[in-house]
Homo-oligomer: A and B are copies of this chain.
Amino acid sequence: MSAQGSGPVRKPLPSGFAEALGGRFGEAFQTSEAILAQHGSSESHFATMLPDAVVFAESRDDVVDLVKLCAAARVPIVAFGAGTSIEGNAAPVQGGVSLDLTRLNKIVAVNAEDFDCMVQPGVRREELNQHLRDQGLFFPIDPGANATIGGMASTRASGTNAVRYGTMREAVLSLEVVTPQGEVIRTARRARKSAAGYDLTRLYVGSEGTLGIITEITLRLHPIPEAISSAVCGFASLKGAVDTVVQSIQCSVPLARVEILDAMQIRAVNRWSKLDYAELPTLFFEFHGSPSGVAEQVETVKALAEANGGGEFAWSNLPEERSKLWRARHEAYYAAVNLRQGAVGWATDVCVPMSRLAECIERTHEDLIGASVPATILGHVGDGNFHVVFSLDPNAPDELAEVEAINARLVERALEMDGTCTGEHGIGLGKQDWLIAELGDAVEQMRLVKRAFDPQNLLNPGKIFTLWAAPRPWRSR
């Protein structure tokens, strides 16, 4: 993509700046090759782009001081968490400081009666759920990777539970944010709803670190359901699987999770996770509720599956069986990438209205049949969201060009169906042209926000959109 190679020329750090950071942050300031590489590479197909330095924040004050030092010296800052983003969202394209927030990993408070908690941005979702379990609570947002909560807020992550519990948009009640000027603000109180002014919380959620640095997150939690049941069901066709989900939702079945994996993805999962599912288009289900409620849901969905060419349901009701099933789903990306040894991954991400989903997946599947690169389809089918994962040979530039073309056709197909170019991965570097295709002049309103909040363009510069639209004749108004 053009966005990868473009962007302003990197400037070296101003003279004396590294020394100033070293003086303020001591050992938490790092410039070793290994640490720079860790903060400049990604799990996806983007080239490594090194920051000039890494600072590990250990307090909110560290963040404030770093932001002020960088603002004074006009040095970019890119917030960094688990490094699991997919679209180059945390790549330091203009160099500067990679601000590692993983040491800010305290669970600050759990308010069990209010079903909420406050955490620092470096807390990881699995760790949070382990902490909550004894109190009968859980945090449902599950993007697959064991991401940090700060990173998940920044990219508006969602994943397997979103069909029932929503995305980070719904999960975040309030944020503490350090502005590009080093001011600390809190975007909302802890009430479950509010009509107090502009929705700053939702403005920062999904802004990919371009508007401020998140230093604390207040999250909505949910009670662990009384009954949980998971099942796997293979289908004669992709369409049959998708139709089962669409019809279940139309019947108001409150599915907690419903994931689609095509036959190739099942082959990859079987190989990677040592399982033996039939190599068919397959749905992974999870049902939450009271025992009788779950039984009722299951009955409805089984009848629909049968009518749509589904086979037997293979049940996983014990916690350890469920864990195994969902671990396999969570490793599906790595399983797909490793269909070829030494390959690198490229995971695309579109989301379309439910009525168009079967057609979108089918046409995409047809497009993949002719491809020379192994590719799988998997997705959060209850939201209309799915991914294609390509297993790319890094030494074969033709493959990259081929995948770029398939990806372009996929996004165009989704946009034609009034869908979006990204359901959950964000824009980062990889989807900038598609954002313009999707939202047109609305992107100009985003730019107005960015320029107003961060006039020096120091927070994660070069992401989501260019600061100014490409030159064009000014239109008369």
Produce 1/0 per residue, A207-228, CB < 8 A to B.
Answer: 1000100000000000101100
What residues of chain B lie closer than 8 Å to A182, measured between beta carbons?
A: 477
Instruction: Say if the beta carbon of A282 comes within 8 Å of chain B.
Output: no
Give which listed residue, B158, B185, B427, B438, contacts A440 with CB less than 8 A: B185
What residues of chain B lie closer than 8 Å to A366, measured between beta carbons?
A: none
- The chain B residue sitting closest to A418, CB to CB, is B190
Contact check, B203 vs A352: say whether CB atoms are below 8 A apart: no
Contact check, B191 vs A156: say whether CB atoms are below 8 A apart: no
Q: A439-B188, A445-B179, A449-B449 are in contact. Are A199 and B156 (CB under 8 A)?
A: yes
Contact check, A198 vs B192: say whether CB atoms are below 8 A apart: no
Contact check, B207 vs A198: say whether CB atoms are below 8 A apart: yes
Contact check, B192 vs A384: say whether CB atoms are below 8 A apart: yes
When chains A and B are docked, how far (Å) is the Cα of A296 from the Cα of B289?
11
Contact check, B195 vs A114: say whether CB atoms are below 8 A apart: no
When chains A and B are docked, how far (Å) is the Cα of A205 from the Cα of B250?
27
Contact check, B355 vs A185: say whether CB atoms are below 8 A apart: no
What residues of chain B lie closer than 8 Å to A104, measured between beta carbons?
A: none
Interface size class of A (residues with CB under 8 A): 35 or more
Instruction: Say if the beta carbon of A424 comes within 8 Å of chain B.
Output: yes
When chains A and B are docked, how far (Å) is the Cα of A252 from the Cα of B228?
14
Contact check, B186 vs A439: say whether CB atoms are below 8 A apart: yes
Q: Which residues in chain A, 162-221, are within 8 Å of chain B measured between CB atoms?
A: 162, 166-167, 169-170, 179, 181-200, 202-203, 205-207, 211
Contact check, B203 vs A197: say whether CB atoms are below 8 A apart: no
What residues of chain B lie closer than 8 Å to A162, measured between beta carbons?
A: 193
When chains A and B are docked, how far (Å) is the Cα of A318 from the Cα of B157?
42
When chains A and B are docked, how far (Å) is the Cα of A378 from the Cα of B22?
58
Instruction: Say if the beta carbon of A262 comes within 8 Å of chain B.
Output: no
Instruction: Say if the beta carbon of A461 comes within 8 Å of chain B.
Output: no
Instruction: Say if the beta carbon of A28 comes within 8 Å of chain B.
Output: no
- The chain B residue sitting closest to A420, CB to CB, is B194
Contact check, A196 vs B421: say whether CB atoms are below 8 A apart: yes
Give 6 new A-B contacts, CB below 8 A, not counting A115-B354, A169-B199, A449-B452: A71-B477, A167-B193, A182-B477, A183-B444, A194-B420, A196-B438
